[in-house]
Structure 1
Amino acid sequence: MIKARIPAEKPASKYGTYAGAVKGFTWNGLREEFTWPIDDKVNIVHQAIDRWGKESSTRDRKALIFEKGDRNVSFTYRELMEASSRWAGMIRSLGFGTGDRLLVFLQSSPEFFCALLGCARIGVIFCPIFTTIGIEELEERIANAEPRGILTHLDLAERLPLDYASSGYSVIYTEGTAPGLFHNEFIAPDLLKEMPEWIEPEWLEEESPLYLIYTSGSTGPPKGILHAHGDMLGHLATGRYVLNLGPDSVLWTDGDPAWITGTIYSTFVPWLCGAASVAQGAVFSASTWYRTIEKYGVTAWYTTPMTIRRLMEAGDDLPTRYDFSRLRHVCAVGEALLPELFYWFKDRFGLSPHDTWWMSETGIICIANFPFLDIKPGSMGKPLPGMEAAIMDETGEALPLLSMGELALKVPWPGLMSGIWKDKARYDLYFRHKGWFLTGDMALKDEEGYFYHQGRVDDLMKIGEKMVGPYDIEQILSRHPAVCEAAVISKAGKAGQPYLKAFITLSSAFAPSNRLNQEIRLFVKANLSPDAPLKEIEFMEALPRTKAGKLLRRVLRARELGLPSGNPTNMHE
């Protein structure tokens, strides 16, 4: 672990110290901030949009700003309330009812966000799908979710399975003329203009489903993770405590809105805080990213370590050409935030990027570096107030400090998934130890309560008497001047003895060679242990990652076994 310590950005925040924030927090206290028109009934759209859209003092406040090329669209809270009502009316007019599913197969667009709100307003479950997904994966999700309809763009229509044409369900296009590929085709603008500006929200139980999102499973087929309207408590807590949002904030979450980070932190989280959300639909370029921050006065930015690396690769001079004076807080998610990236960002922006940790299954940020907490580079921080985390062994016993084990979270909390679609057995595996959610991630906790991510459970191996995760090896490899990025997996050797293989991308000043291969292996032994069984190194042009930047070790394992691994660019989460 790195011993460096970065002072908190806001040591005098309204929450006081981290200990003070934890002591003063209760979920019931947060509930009291919401309005409850009907006792014990909820609708997240009422809390996130309508209560601001109806008030004269807040209805004209910016809620959503979208840009893609020449298209620039913005909505106030009142306009978003009206747009979501029209979309709710249209969806209902096509026969959708509470609990039905609508697949949203769209790139980032105003229609994407309006459709999500329209569904939620009337209790329809929205299911966002990446447009880069493979045909077989799309077919799997349609078969599993059994949607009543699909919202898509004409350019994507031919990607839909042919047998969907005879299903009798609806295909809704965001523009253009129906191509005649399916029985029930509709053009959204034609229907929306006939819909009312106000649709009363469907009042629901807190556990009523809100959205269904698919995430790749490391040990099985993709999982349909189900989340509920009651997640709004967790959304509000993380917006305030982690992202430091308030009514004057402008949040840019730069992930694809079909990735759960974009799905939640581009929508309900900022809106529950009364803030504005920026959505940039253009493909990545460093200049576009910098210009977006400057042009829209972004105050809070939720990004990924992969994006920070791409900005770093674009050069040190480029950020000096832009004005980031309104930017006050930056968070990252998706993979470990390496010290190299942390310090580069801090030097260029004058702000520390705050690492966060969560999963599709947890529904909200669970562990984070807070604005009022000192940062230890390499640590993912401490638990969200109102949550408790522990490091456990295989029997469910808590381990001592600085011991590596499985990260577990005490249940319940608002945001935790309410189920895995059509797979209760898989859902129950997360709760094998009573009262705890088992994450499948390895971590350790230091003497001050900071947590450090160490990879997945099945990535661990024993070196001497010590359990070591791939993160440890990768950290050592990254300190070698020739190494740009590294990924480590374990392989089965003779007599069942595992050994390590490293996949490495090289810095531009170095070229692959047998000599460099040997030098790097000796470097690891010298810095970890003479017993470190790093027997193979493979130099690569790039490591396989999801669109969000998450390293896909399972793809590397599959390739080593000669098994199909799919196209990494189509994999998400």
Structure 2
Amino acid sequence: MDPVYAKARELWRFSIRNPEAFWDGVARGLAWFKYYEKVVEADHPYYYWFKGGKINPTYNVFDAHPERKNKVALIWESESGERRSLSYQELFAEVNSLASSLKEIGVKKGDVVTIYMPMVPEAMVAMLAIARIGAAHNVVFAGFGSQALRDRIKMSSSSFLITADAGFRRGKTIDYLKTVKEATEGMDVKVVTLERQGRVMGYNFKDFTSRLKKVEAERSDSLDPLFILYTSGTTGKPKGVVHAVGPYTVWAYFHVKWLFNFGEEDVFFSTPDIGWINGHSYSTYGPLLNGATVLWYEGVPDYPDPEVWWYLVEKYKVTHMWVAPTAVRLLVKHNVKTKYDISSLKTIVSAGEILGEEAWKWLVDLTQGKTYVIETWGQTENSGFITSPGGFYVGGISYKKGSVGIPLPDIDVAVVDDNGNELPPGQKGNVIIKSSAPAFMVGLYKDDERYRQYFSRFGYYYTGDYGYVDEDGYLYILGRGDDVIKVAGHRLSPAEVENAVLEVPEVAETAVVGKDDPVKGSVLVAFVTLKEGLRPSEKLKERIRQTVRNLVGPVASLDDVIFLDKLPKTRTGKIMRRVLRAVVSGKEVGDVSTLEEAEALEELKRVVKP
């Protein structure tokens, strides 16, 4: 038996049998102002972790570890080559300065402070300063427009906003202040602006970080909110996921240590934006709580050229990298091999949605098979990943191609049918979590009814995902439950069909959806983009159809193959399958406020004849 797998499963079994003993052991690796009275108090579906404990994540990043002061905490580089580096001591000084200034303008414990900023060092400073004084941050992705920002300020009851006057993307300037002015019109919101192009609304961020003042870390209660993060559902208003100080700090520290177990010389290139959970857990809290050096890049993976990521890997001797599948698929489309030395890379971790075999193989080939290319799985609601293929804490990686790994300690994954009956290994169904863990949200902000809905269907936490586990406990995610397509009584996962489409060498990206059909209920339609310089043809369309029939079977026959220049995606890069389904079936597309490029939707409507 693989020793990494054996060790990981041994710890998992212990944690399932003895969750309180397990988490007490982990939590005591952190600095508490006051130890908790109880590890967990359960009143399903509510779980109160480390009740009575007092802790602050910034105390654990800075005050508790003076030996880190000269180590580099953050390296930042922009598209234009602008660079900045902050040691733990320098970062701590800026966090203290901003924290004292925020207190002076009225921010107090329990307040919600909205952050609307690009990936600049000051965004990290803002998150940590807010946490230091016991307030909660509400980070809004800086790609959102004024209405989305206004909604999130209102829904979170936020009276403070930290922003920048501008950002830079693909060589263009993005005017954030225009968006902020529209979003806050008629609202009583105090604004702090990072001046990058000489414009300030409200207070000047640079004035706030130039004061050499020390602020003692707030002794936050374990169950105080650390942050609210709004997730966009397919319908209805966004959900404000609340993570609490104690459980989130313990989980962020532990699960990042579990996977990476950073050494003194490691450099972690985390590409996720702070507007999403992966940007909270892997661009900020997780690596800093473990004393790591994290690299941020303000830009996109193919600008100024498709090798910019690999240039940064060589320049900073990056050892671990966190990527989104859509970014990898973008690089696959460019199909550029790298001239840079990326041999320092130990792992490339993909998360956010299914990577797909083609993108996985491309990364393996790019790194000459010398780097672990792995997938993990998790959600905003559970702080990031909750499954992984082992980790360096337990000795290394034990990866099975196509899987997202095995559950982390105290994560009890099961697959059930639509009636809630647990399914044996290999059978596909609804993915649920039967246990609690510090990873999980403590609620939805001012929306208890929607929080309870996570548990109402099966009695346990329903992830909304569709997949299966194998005989060794490895989990395979096939897509969202509402993406599963029923064709003539058969349930087909889009991922299975999409992997078959991607076997055709000309294909860069694909999304397969169901189109309403009066006889079969649904028929399959594949939307396809091609690699650079290639053109669609009827011959290629037929080859795609035949490949799917050969690999998946006659039940997966494609009714149509539609070629597009761009697939409609959210600003996080997730393909908007519901929009594809709606257009191809002649229905209303609904809310598209998270759409990255309007041109993609316009092309889709022009090309598709429902």
Which letter maps to 2:8? Y
Higher mean Cα deviation, 445-454 or 561-570? Answer: 561-570
Cα 1:93–1:501 shift into 2, 3 Å: same
Match for residue 289 of structure 2 among 272, 277, 291: 272
Match for residue 256 of structure 1 among 273, 297, 300: 273
Cα 1:80–1:482 shift into 2, 3 Å: closer
* Counterpart mapping for 1:1-400 below 5 A: 17-23=7-13, 26-39=22-35, 40-52=53-65, 55=66, 57-68=67-78, 69-155=80-166, 156-162=176-182, 164-175=184-195, 185-194=202-211, 196=213, 198-230=214-246, 231-285=248-302, 286-315=306-335, 317-318=337-338, 321-349=339-367, 350-371=370-391, 372-400=396-424
Q: Distance in 1 between matches of 2:70 and 2:215?
A: 19
> Which residue does the alignment assign to 1:3?
none
Alignment: residue pair count: 552
Q: Distance in 1 between matches of 2:146 and 2:264?
A: 42
TM-score (norm 1): 0.89
1:568 paired with 2:595, answer yes
Q: Distance in 1 between matches of 2:502 and 2:231?
A: 29
> Which residue does the alignment assign to 2:427?
403
Higher mean Cα deviation, 85-94 or 388-397? Answer: 388-397
Which letter maps to 2:401? P
Cα 1:23–1:529 shift into 2, 3 Å: closer
Which letter maps to 1:333? A
Which letter maps to 1:200? E
Contact 2:469 2:475 in 1 (8 A): yes
Deviation for aligned residue 1:135: 2.3
Cα 1:317–1:393 shift into 2, 3 Å: closer
Contact 1:245 1:300 in 2 (8 A): no
Cα 1:299–1:179 shift into 2, 3 Å: closer
Q: Distance in 1 between matches of 2:575 and 2:138?
A: 24
TM-superposition CA deviations, 1:247-281 (whole Å, max 9, x none): 44321111222222112211110111111111112
Counterpart secondary structure, 2:220: coil
> Which residue does the alignment assign to 1:527?
551
Contact 2:97 2:209 in 1 (8 A): yes
Q: Distance in 1 between matches of 2:481 and 2:544?
A: 26
Q: Distance in 1 between matches of 2:153 and 2:193?
A: 17
Which letter maps to 2:83? N
Deviation for aligned residue 1:526: 3.9
Deviation for aligned residue 1:407: 0.8
Q: Distance in 2 between matches of 1:517 and 1:250?
A: 44
Q: Distance in 2 between matches of 1:306 and 1:79?
A: 34
Cα 1:352–1:340 shift into 2, 3 Å: farther
Cα 1:174–1:555 shift into 2, 3 Å: same
Contact 2:116 2:162 in 1 (8 A): yes
* Counterpart mapping for 1:441-520 below 5 A: 441-463=465-487, 466-494=490-518, 497-507=521-531, 511-520=535-544
TM-superposition CA deviations, 1:437-477 (whole Å, max 9, x none): 11000011111211111111112234466422111111222
TM-score (norm 2): 0.84
- What RMSD, in angstroms, separates the aligned Cα atoms of the two structures? 2.6
Cα 1:388–1:247 shift into 2, 3 Å: farther
Identity %: 29
Deviation for aligned residue 1:161: 4.7
Counterpart secondary structure, 1:294: helix
Higher mean Cα deviation, 104-113 or 335-344? Answer: 335-344
Higher RCO (CA-CA < 8 Å; seq separation 6+): 1
Cα 1:317–1:494 shift into 2, 3 Å: closer
Q: Distance in 2 between matches of 1:300 and 1:369?
A: 15
Q: Distance in 2 between matches of 1:202 and 1:91?
A: 14
Cα 1:299–1:12 shift into 2, 3 Å: farther
Which letter maps to 2:77? E
Cα 1:499–1:61 shift into 2, 3 Å: same
Could you tell me which runs of 5 or more consecutive residues in structure 2 were left unpaired when the two chains were aligned.
16-21, 36-52, 167-175, 599-610
Higher mean Cα deviation, 82-91 or 546-555? Answer: 546-555
Deviation for aligned residue 1:406: 1.0
Deviation for aligned residue 1:338: 2.0
Cα 1:330–1:317 shift into 2, 3 Å: closer
Cα 1:79–1:484 shift into 2, 3 Å: closer
Contact 2:334 2:531 in 1 (8 A): no
Which letter maps to 1:378? G
Which letter maps to 1:42? I
Could you tell me which runs of 5 or more consecutive residues in structure 1 were left unpaired when the two chains were aligned.
1-6
Cα 1:108–1:481 shift into 2, 3 Å: closer
Q: Distance in 1 between matches of 2:160 and 2:594?
A: 27
Deviation for aligned residue 1:487: 0.9
Which letter maps to 1:236? Y
Q: Distance in 1 between matches of 2:511 and 2:453?
A: 28
